[in-house]
Amino acid sequence: MATFAGTAGGLGGRHLGIFAGIGLAALVALAAWGIGALAPLLGAAVAAIVLGVLVRAVLAPGPRFDPGIRFTGKKVLQWSIVGLGFGLDFGEVARTGLDSLTVMLGTLAVAFLSAWALGRLLRVPGKLTVLVGVGTAICGGSAIAAVAPIIRPQDHETAFAISTIFLFNLVAVLLFPALGHLMQLSDAGFGLWAGTAINDTSSVVAAGYAYSAAAGDYATIVKLTRATMIVPICVVLAALVAWRGERGGDTAGAPRPRLGKVFPWFILWFLVASALRTVGLVPAAWLPWLHVAAVAMMVLALAAIGLSADLRRMRAAGARPILLGLGVWAAVALGSLALQLAGGQA
């Protein structure tokens, strides 16, 4: 009985923690929605991330909020992206993904080459360099989390990499829309730039929709196409680990990536939602409401992502990982623009 009561209490505590975190994120999201209505150029998405960071820095919510914040920042963001799929034609999704491949693959190459060169120049440890390179090249913290069990970095290296990536995600959310307007990029041009040059899916979505609805749709599709690259990257890294015998020379025991766990399955559901809309299985009257729900979930998730930012951990990362992240991020941003201009896609 005591064990059962303790288990029930633990479950109840976890559920309360989840609801507390979701509730806090919802309050931040509501405030961000109001800010977005008053300042459309800023937008609710960007306001949600920035306001979340400020609330975390000033009020420092306790650990009991963390489960709900993590749940909202990950799961609700994925649900919002699936919801956005109901508003997009499947043929357009496929065309956009194919049109972005050249720039996307080019920026991946730029990210890995610049990470390797700058890592050696700054004398950043090899595994930390890999984490920053993969996070910048593909999908930020999600890519780092997928790669870490394969290359087995120290815990502090993983924390440094995630903090560094998040710092430049935040900078991109604030800077990219203004730069896009300054360069007079088209909606598709900005969407391609954001989708290939901003690290994390959440920041791509925030920056894209801050620019325009069309740019947000385009950027989301490009980013989801880019996120699928985590699967071949994990396979390659696992093969390299086995080849180098980094696990005491036992190549047969080298970690093998679990593709079912690594693959971002919400991308598949995004495509299913788009296909259902395209073939007419979703009533037209539902589409506006689905879009509103998707945007609301997106703002909620972005508020949670802001609330998860730990500025003290970012400061503790030190200068060299931050300089590495800055250099790789700048190389990818400039490389993406150069490839677009060369291909006439800006």
Higher-pLDDT residue of 200 and 116 is 116
CA distance 119 to 136: 13
Alpha carbon 95 to chain centroid, angstroms: 22
The pLDDT value given to residue 320: 78
> Which amino acid type is present at position 341?
L
Mean pLDDT of 283-294: 88
The pLDDT value given to residue 27: 95
Per-range mean pLDDT, top range of 62-66, 133-137, 188-192: 188-192
Q: What is the pLDDT of the chain when averaged over all its residues?
A: 80
Q: What share of the chain has pLDDT > 90, as a percent?
A: 18
Higher-pLDDT residue of 281 and 81 is 281
Mean pLDDT of 217-236: 83
**pLDDT tens digits, 150-194:** 787 776 677 677 777 777 888 888 899 999 999 999 999 999 999
The pLDDT value given to residue 28: 93
**pLDDT tens digits, 111-122:** 999 999 998 898
CA proximity to 304, closest of 142, 58, 59, 77: 77
The pLDDT value given to residue 1: 39
Mean pLDDT of 83-98: 82
The pLDDT value given to residue 263: 65
Higher-pLDDT residue of 187 and 93 is 187
The pLDDT value given to residue 268: 83
Q: Which residue intervals of the chain are DSSP H helices?
A: 2-38, 44-59, 66-71, 77-85, 90-99, 101-122, 126-134, 140-151, 155-182, 187-197, 201-211, 213-227, 230-244, 259-262, 265-278, 287-307, 311-316, 319-343
Q: Sorting pLDDT into bands at 50, 70 and 90, what band is 8? A: very low
The pLDDT value given to residue 56: 87
The pLDDT value given to residue 232: 80
pTM: 0.71
CA distance 298 to 325: 26
Weakest-pLDDT range from 31-40, 145-154, 181-190, 267-276: 145-154
Q: Sorting pLDDT into bands at 50, 70 and 90, what band is 331? A: very high
The pLDDT value given to residue 333: 92
Reply yes or no on whether the pLDDT at 30 is more than 90.
yes
CA distance 311 to 227: 26
